[in-house]
Homo-oligomer: A and B are copies of this chain.
């Protein structure tokens, strides 16, 4: 086998490298560079512009915590908007809820969806659900012009550089607020608190969301292939509290199979380290 390694700089001074058996795909789409690799440790993995988006080995963690956390606070959620998420992992998890009626997925890059359908069936199987409606559009523009009222918006974006940047703006969060019902919840991937550049993005996102929503919380998960392994998610809402309003019994009665998420972990995920609380307080 070739001695081939994929490397990612988590900072200019920290490099994470993964042994690769072979590169399965490469293309430059209208928006970004898309690669798929096969690796002995993580199975197949997808990169966009040289950043790991998901690996078959640990994608369950990200996709479970970005979906079930809101669903367990309001298991009555019917209409959902998902922005980004071209790999299908988020809709795969949402598909486990019989009560959900409609899922709009807004992905700017059709090629991400096509590549995932070809190479990553583990996540792209999510698109087979009949309740999923795919829109190849800019997420910011979509929420600006939508008249639908959503119970849940999930922002499964890339980092706030390149095509994902608009999904971290004040205007975007304000439009999300308008597009949500009175019990509506906004969940977003919220970067990491550890390395300096990630922490900057995290603080900036939190400041803007806090201005747009009366209730704004941050929770954490262990995601081994993301920088530092310590990743944050935002839970913003008009009225629901992520811990006080958790419907643990109702959610557990649904008997949804998960490998990471559970309702005890849900409560614990909002217990942040002091240094993270300090950063959020400063905003």
State whether the Cβ of A268 lies closer than 8 Å to any Cβ in chain B. yes
CA distance A268 to B266 in the complex (A): 9
CA distance A245 to B269 in the complex (A): 21
Contact A262 B268 (CB under 8 A): no
State whether the Cβ of A214 lies closer than 8 Å to any Cβ in chain B. no
A5-13, A95-103, A156-164 - the one binding chain B? A5-13
CB-CB < 8 A to A14: which residues of B?
Answer: 16-19, 41
**When the two chains form the complex, which single residue of B13, B259, B273 contacts A39, counting CB atoms closer than 8 Å?**
B13
CB-CB < 8 A to A272: which residues of B?
Answer: 265
A-B contact pairs, 23 of them (CB 8 A): A11-B41, A12-B19, A13-B41, A14-B19, A14-B41, A15-B16, A16-B16, A17-B17, A58-B194, A61-B273, A194-B224, A222-B222, A224-B228, A229-B230, A259-B275, A262-B277, A264-B271, A265-B273, A266-B271, A267-B268, A268-B269, A268-B271, A269-B271
Least distance between A219 CB and chain B CB atoms (Å): 10
Least distance between A221 CB and chain B CB atoms (Å): 9
Least distance between A196 CB and chain B CB atoms (Å): 9
List the 9 closest A-B pairs by CB distance, nearest first: A229-B229, A268-B268, A268-B271, A13-B19, A222-B230, A224-B228, A13-B41, A15-B17, A265-B271
CB-CB < 8 A to A123: which residues of B?
Answer: none
State how many copies of this chain the complex holds. 2
Interface size class of A (residues with CB under 8 A): 35 or more
State whether the Cβ of A216 lies closer than 8 Å to any Cβ in chain B. no
Contact B11 A15 (CB under 8 A): no
State whether the Cβ of A258 lies closer than 8 Å to any Cβ in chain B. yes
State whether the Cβ of A220 lies closer than 8 Å to any Cβ in chain B. yes
CA distance A15 to B12 in the complex (A): 16
CB-CB < 8 A to A275: which residues of B?
Answer: 259-260
Contact A229 B224 (CB under 8 A): yes
CB-CB < 8 A to A173: which residues of B?
Answer: none
**When the two chains form the complex, which single residue of B5, B224, B267, B274 contacts A259, counting CB atoms closer than 8 Å?**
B274
User: Given A5-B15, A228-B222, is A259 in contact with B273 using a C-beta cutoff of 8 Å?
Assistant: yes
Least distance between A57 CB and chain B CB atoms (Å): 9
User: Given A14-B18, A16-B16, A19-B13, is A270 in contact with B268 using a C-beta cutoff of 8 Å?
Assistant: yes
CB-CB < 8 A to A273: which residues of B?
Answer: 61, 222, 259-262, 265
Closest B residue to A220 using CB positions = B222
CA distance A77 to B233 in the complex (A): 37
CA distance A152 to B271 in the complex (A): 25
Closest B residue to A12 using CB positions = B19
Q: Mark A177-212, 1 if CB is under 8 A from B, else 0.
A: 000000000000000001100000000000000000
Least distance between A275 CB and chain B CB atoms (Å): 5
